[in-house]
Amino acid sequence: MTTRRKVAVLISGRGSNMRALVEATRDPGYPASIVVVISNMADAGGLDFARGAGIATEIVPHRGLDRAAHGAALDAAIRKHGADLVCLAGFMRLLDPGFVEAWRDRLINVHPSLLPSFRGLDTHAKALAAGVKIAGCTVHFVRADVDAGPIIAQAAVPVRDGDTEAELAARILAQEHRIYPLALRLVAEGRVRVEGDRTIIGAPDATGSLANPSTP
């Protein structure tokens, strides 16, 4: 079996997308394993889940640090555990551009909108206010600009008449839990190539190299 890619997951709260990734990695055929869960908040609920799953945890507080110093501390914690991919899962802290560049095309985020629409916070309120009929979520490589970067995967859900923010959020979150493990799998298998501001998704041949079109 091909060596599994080592992943660090960054959270600030309950880490529901982190949990979805953990569940995916329980499959021995999954091409990645989570080696550490890192939070900037000591009371993040997801830390207990990670510990219960036997995953190492780190707390890297941001208080008292400027963005560059916090980015350096995060980088040190990630490298300490030998991770070579980083997944953001509800990490509510703007990242230092230097950190983002150091992990370019190895730093992944999930966002609860169909990017490039509705970047930033309050995505569900923005979608409802705009009257869109389709909403959804996006997994993308991270860039220094907020919620920008080449898109790896997206999923859409209908916006129903009378939807509340909570109802729409729940419908979208279920899709986040589905496509984040899929996107990480694609990246870990080496099937995602970045060209400018977009990604090309290929299929690996028997040796693990990219082949397009793929054979049956």
Domains of the chain: 1-103 (3.40.50.170), 112-140+153-194 (3.40.50.170)
Mean pLDDT, residues 114-142: 97
* pLDDT tens, position by position, 178-200: 999 999 999 999 999 999 999 99
User: Which of 62, 70, 111, 124 is the catalytic position?
Assistant: 111
| Interval 51-68 mean pLDDT | 96
Whether the Cβ atoms of residue 25 and residue 32 lie closer than 8 Å to each other: yes
Both tokens of 210, joined, read: 């990219």
pTM assigned to the model = 0.91
Q: Choose between 204 and 135: higher pLDDT.
A: 135
pLDDT at 215: 37
CA nearest neighbour of 124 among 78, 81, 160: 160
| Chain mean pLDDT for the chain | 93
Residue 111 known to be catalytic = yes
Confidence of residue 209 (pLDDT cuts 50, 70, 90): very low
Q: How confident is the model at residue 45 (pLDDT cuts 50, 70, 90)?
A: very high
Residue 213 reports pLDDT greater than 50: no
